[in-house]
Chains A and B, each alone.
Chain A
Amino acid sequence: MITSARSFHAAPMGATLTAVLLLAAVAPVAFGAEVVIINNDGAGVGLNDPTPATPVAGNNGTTLGEQRLNVLERAAQIWAQNLVSDVPIAIQAQTASQACTATTAVLASAGAAVVERDFPNAPEAGTWYHGALANAIAGVDLDPGSPDITTQFNINLDEDPNCLGGNGWYYGFDHEEGPQTDLLAVMLHEYGHGLGFANFANESTGTLFQNIPDIYTTFTRDLETGTDWNDMTNAERIASSINDPDVVWTGANVTAALDGFLAPPVILTIDAPGNIAGAFPAQSASFGPPVPGGAGLSGSVVLAEDGVGTGTDGCEAFTNGAAVNGNIALIDRGSCSFTSKVVNAQAVGATAVLIANNVATGLPPMGGSDPTITIPSIGISQTEGASIQGELPGVDVTLEFDLGAPLAGTNGGFLRVNAPNPVAPGSSISHWTPAATPSLLMEPAITSALTDDVDLTLEHFRDIGWTLLTPSIFANGFEDGDCSAWSASNGGGC
Chain B
Amino acid sequence: MKDTKKVSIIGIIWKKTSDTLKNNPVIFIPFCISGVIKLFGLLTVFLSIFPPLSVVFAPIIKTLWGEAYLHYPFNFTLMPNLFNYVQIAVYIFMDGLLTGIAVWMICQVNEGKRANLLISIKRVVPKYCTLTAFLFTMFLIMRLIFSVENFMILKLLKMGFFVSFLEKDSLDFIRVYFNFLIVLIIQAGFAFVIPFAILENRNFFKSISESFSLAKRFIRTILILIVLPMSLSLPVSLLETRLPVLMDKTFPEITFLMLAMGVILVVFIDYIVTASLTALFLLRKGLVFEKE
Q: Do A and B come from one complex?
A: no
